[in-house]
Amino acid sequence: MKIVPGSDGTPINVLEYEEYAKEYLPKNAYDYYASGADEMVSLRENREAFKRLVLRPRVLRDVSNMSIRTTVLGQEITSPVCIAPTAMQRMAHPDGEIASTRASGKTGNCYILSTLSTTSLEDVAEANPSGLRWYQLYVFKDRDITLQLVRRAEKAGYKAIVLTVDTPLLGHREADVRNHFSLPGHLQLANFAKVGGDHAHGVKGLGDSGLAQYVSSLFDLTLNWEDVKWLKSITKLPVVVKGVLTAEDAAIAVEMGCEAILVSNHGARQLDGVSATIDALPEIVAAVKGRAEVYLDGGIRRGTDVFKALALGARAVFIGRPVLWGLAHSGEAGVLNVLKILDAELKHAMLFAGTARLADVSPQYIRRGLPAFPSNL
């Protein structure tokens, strides 16, 4: 697809930002960000599932007083479009996580920092001191690493721990194998630079699958729900469980006292063949029964996608790859524009659907199944 930007050369939608990133990023960096596991069936489904949901707009509704403000875990945000954790953002732009967190702060939404970031959690906090920041965490084989990261996040003012639970090890991504993907030599996994012991070097300069092997070596195949209970015992911060796709696991998470669930298939990067997140959302919302907040990531590219997720019960959505495409284009300004585009598209969808407030958006505005459009249209 040829990029047809706005009159000033700036992309006018998220898809155009991705086209730019695909053209200008190094191939191994773009493929690392863009690819999914194995045949990437679930990666495609994350998008296709949204297309199967048809909007049911209501007409003659007063939509003159439009607002997309909401709250997550009691904290007010200006938009339900928030930033998901994505690893190694400095491959997309030299400012990496600093740029994306500043854009989040200027927008007034929620920002989740990845443990596998190329900027330390302290530096990210310093760049966005007043913004709402959450910290994404793995429970590592060495529990002391996990404990150190939690304490640092608490000290740096992060307001929640987002525990990724779908990663007993890294998924099999064939593009990375073909490209012999490695972290560029000038970058490091910065959060490990301040961890004691053998991990203090920040894994700088690991090449040709060394990075994947190193990170996978940290994960624990024995991880289970008792470890969630342990995490709850060592911090007073709310815990968001990220990577839940079934009603059964959602119910257990609530029973464990987790304050929120992020419906996610890890950008379809872990297990191929799992359901699209938007397809998994309704059963999880039903299982939670309002006892915890429910969010969604995966496949969001348009404001209508945001609308559909909110209609099916998500309180907020988190975007990952679109942020990377904005970074690749123009750093902080690119991320800021991606967020503005999605906010504007969401308001547009709400206006035409007849919903002035997020509280008005409900399942009645959604129908499953593509309409049979006449072939001559």
One digit per residue, the tens of pLDDT, for the chain of length 377 reads: 344 445 567 999 999 999 999 999 999 999 999 999 999 999 999 999 999 999 999 999 999 999 999 999 999 999 999 999 999 999 999 999 999 999 999 999 999 999 999 999 999 999 999 999 999 999 999 999 999 999 999 999 999 999 999 988 888 998 989 988 988 989 999 999 877 655 554 555 544 445 666 677 788 899 999 999 999 999 999 999 999 999 999 999 999 999 999 999 999 999 999 999 999 999 999 999 999 999 999 999 999 999 999 999 999 999 999 999 999 999 999 999 999 999 999 999 999 999 999 999 999 999 987 654 454 44
Rg of the Cα atoms in the chain: 20
Distance CA 326, CA 368 (A): 31
Evaluate whether 319 touches 343 at the Cβ level (below 8 Å): no
Distance CA 323, CA 319 (A): 7
CB count in 10 Å sphere of residue 87: 21
Q: Is 138 annotated as a binding residue?
A: yes
Give the domains, in start order, of the chain with CATH numbers: 14-361 (3.20.20.70)
Q: Is 365 annotated as a binding residue?
A: no
DSSP state for residue 140 in the 8-state scheme: B
Distance CA 338, CA 355 (A): 23
Pairing of strands 70-72, 75-77: antiparallel
Active-site positions? 266
DSSP E strands: which ranges in 278-357? 293-297, 316-319
Q: Is 321 annotated as a binding residue?
A: yes
Evaluate whether 216 touches 169 at the Cβ level (below 8 Å): yes
DSSP state for residue 188 in the 8-state scheme: -
**Per-residue tokens: 189:** 């996994």
